[in-house]
Copies of this chain bind each other. A is one copy, B any other.
Amino acid sequence: MTAGGAAGRAGDVARRATIREVAEAAGVSRSTASRALTGQGYVAPQVRDRVRAVADGLGYVPDATARHLRRQASQSIGVLLSDLANPFYAGLAAGISQQARKRQYTMMLADDGGSAGVEAEAAETFVALRVAGVIVTPVSAHLASYLARQRIPVVEVDRQFSAGACDAVLVDNGSAAQKVTTQLIESGHRRIALVIDEMHWTTGRDRLAGYRAAFGAAGLPLDESLVVSAGWDVEAARVEIRKLLGRAEPPTALFAANNVLAEAAFRTAAELGLAIPGQLSLVSFDDVPWMSMVTPGVTAVRQDTAALGEAAVSQLIERIQSPLAPVRTVLLSASIVTRGSTAPPA
């Protein structure tokens, strides 16, 4: 097929096959070809086989956008995360993508970098694409309400901004935080600092509540000055932590509310020459790879990110299939991985 001739003209080479071409090549109508390929409706068995053989031969792949337009139902879900370079979100993405593939959905992924503005843009893009539903680690309540108005199901993951208005898949932050704080208390710690990102998010709020509950349950007073809100800026967080650890009466243990803060705390401790766990016990909410590589390893609350992502996809698909079912919040429990960074205070 390399020689010239009319068919060899550059530019007019092999356009992608459409169902019409499959039908013509098989000597049937578009309708029959469609039934043969989708398996919906009556087709004579031998015609079905012939059409399918012809389609294979032509390398026919149905146009999903055309099908979507006609059926008014998409097989794509939108996924919006805060920071793919953070292993927490990357793990989430991995879980979502696995489960989506299993359920025959494709995934449109965007990263909003934690910005509400980008989040809003992404929401509009998802509407334009007419996705079947959206999974989001929200940074505002806007997305869920906007998409609700457009009748697009939303599942909030990790944290919740629209409780009662849309489904959510969360980690049981309160219980996990309480449990890990209780362990520190039981091993003798009293001055336990909590370094937290943002207390208005449900993650921060619930982790703080668990921490408080641990003191309450132990009947111990809580030194409010040991609760430090460090925000999202890494540099600013390190400054806060340095101040905290440099106090006249420093904490004997530090509970970092996320993996970024744990890294800041770990580095700062090293910088100040504080031995872990000798002079400072360290606990992290969220377990990421480096915590098991360093010596001593960092005790951490392990959130199963893959399971979180899978649960989010399952919940979203249920919602797509039953738009009127009652709103649901799924809570996944977290486990504690005890490593060398925690020990009784000196």
Q: Which residues of A contact B (CB under 8 A)?
A: 14, 16, 59, 61-66, 68-69, 74, 76, 79, 83-85, 87, 90-91, 93-94, 97-98, 101, 106-111, 118, 124-125, 127-130, 149-151, 263, 266-267, 270, 288-290, 293-295, 306
In the assembled complex, 25 residue pairs joining A and B whose CB atoms fall closer than 8 Å, in A order, are A14-B149, A14-B151, A16-B151, A61-B127, A61-B150, A65-B129, A69-B69, A76-B108, A79-B109, A84-B90, A84-B93, A84-B94, A85-B87, A85-B91, A87-B90, A97-B109, A98-B111, A101-B118, A106-B125, A106-B129, A107-B110, A108-B108, A270-B295, A290-B293, A294-B295
Which one, B85, B97, B266, contacts A94 given CB within 8 A?
Answer: B85
Q: Are B109's CB and A109's CB within 8 A?
A: yes
> Which residues of chain B have C-beta atoms less than 8 A from A127's C-beta?
61
Q: Are A107's CB and B109's CB within 8 A?
A: yes
Bound CA–CA A125/B108 (angstroms):
13
Q: How far is the CB of A150 from chain B (nearest CB, A)?
A: 6
Bound CA–CA A85/B308 (angstroms):
14
CB-based nearest B residue for A68: B65
Q: How far is the CB of A305 from chain B (nearest CB, A)?
A: 8
Bound CA–CA A93/B125 (angstroms):
19
> Which residues of chain B have C-beta atoms less than 8 A from A63's C-beta?
69, 128, 130
> Which residues of chain B have C-beta atoms less than 8 A from A129's C-beta?
64-65, 106
CB-based nearest B residue for A127: B61
Bound CA–CA A151/B193 (angstroms):
59
> Which residues of chain B have C-beta atoms less than 8 A from A290's C-beta?
289-290, 293-294
Which one, B59, B65, B266, contacts A150 given CB within 8 A?
Answer: B59
Q: How far is the CB of A145 from chain B (nearest CB, A)?
A: 12
Q: Are A97's CB and B111's CB within 8 A?
A: yes
Bound CA–CA A108/B110 (angstroms):
9
Q: How far is the CB of A89 from chain B (nearest CB, A)?
A: 8
Which one, B69, B93, B108, B151, contacts A66 given CB within 8 A?
Answer: B69
Q: How far is the CB of A292 from chain B (nearest CB, A)?
A: 8
Q: How far is the CB of A28 from chain B (nearest CB, A)?
A: 22
Which one, B14, B124, B150, contacts A16 given CB within 8 A?
Answer: B150
Q: How far is the CB of A337 from chain B (nearest CB, A)?
A: 15
Chain B CB count within 10 A is highest, among A90, A266, A294, for A90
CB-based nearest B residue for A64: B128
Bound CA–CA A127/B60 (angstroms):
10
